[in-house]
Chain A
Amino acid sequence: ETGVTQSPTHLIKTRGQQVTLRCSSQSGHNTVSWYQQALGQGPQFIFQYYREEENGRGNFPPRFSGLQFPNYSSELNVNALELDDSALYLCASAGGGTGEGETQYFGPGTRLLVL
């Protein structure tokens, strides 16, 4: 086990609603990344937070937003849910630093279904 936890494990929402997903990083890690994995596909990078600041963003619209807290836990918020947002959302934490040799450790994911 990696020590990265996510909640909830499953979630069902309807189109247009808003959702918040949570991630608790592995102890000592100050960087968290979020990924979206649609059924049958590889994970797609949403964004990354380093020491509470956004540190890069993938090709996702602004209705995908995030936060990182002083204890390095994180939230992913999605507004105005669309059917295509149905996916497994993965959180990954890493030790932070200047980039040399960082490895990401993934949580079990939150499966979101939008009806």
Chain B
Amino acid sequence: AQSVTQPDIHITVSEGASLELRCNYSYGATPYLFWYVQSPGQGLQLLLKYFSGDTLVQGIKGFEAEFKRSQSSFNLRKPSVHWSDAAEYFCAGSMTTDSWGKLQFGAGTQVVVTP
């Protein structure tokens, strides 16, 4: 079955430290992949997306993600975290051959930033 998995439910990171959020996918072919961020009580904001081509994708707010086909992963990274990065992060995928826009989401990773 097609799925997106985020292994880490909760991550605590110090302000200024690096951050990496894991995402694994299970699809029959390369899916479209996305990372969204959700602040408390808010909707989802798109951070970045991967469709094809360069496997290192740059997004907004200093985030980047790397697509690794061999590991079925699409991990999100940020070199230096700011207190405003505290939020919930969702990885999502959709199949390229069908159901574009019908996103499957992971369960999310809650990021806490400490001073």
State the interface size on chain B (CB cutoff 8 A): 24
* Min C-beta distance of A98 to chain B, whole Å: 8
CB-nearest residue of chain A to B42: A108
Interchain residue pairs with CB less than 8 A apart (25): A2-B43, A4-B43, A6-B43, A33-B101, A33-B102, A35-B103, A41-B108, A43-B44, A43-B90, A48-B102, A56-B99, A90-B43, A92-B44, A99-B100, A99-B101, A101-B51, A102-B101, A103-B46, A104-B101, A104-B103, A105-B46, A107-B43, A108-B43, A109-B42, A109-B43
CB 8 Å contact bits of B72-108 with A (1 = contact, 0 = none): 0000000000000000001010001001111111111
State the interface size on chain A (CB cutoff 8 A): 29
* Min C-beta distance of A111 to chain B, whole Å: 8
B18 at the interface (CB under 8 A from A): no
CB-nearest residue of chain B to A109: B43
* Min C-beta distance of A93 to chain B, whole Å: 9
Which residues on A sit within 8 Å (CB–CB) of B106? 42
Which residues on A sit within 8 Å (CB–CB) of B44? 43, 90, 92, 106
A100 to B98, CA, bound (A): 10
A72 to B102, CA, bound (A): 17
A residues 25-55 with Cβ under 8 Å of B? 31, 33, 35, 41-45, 48
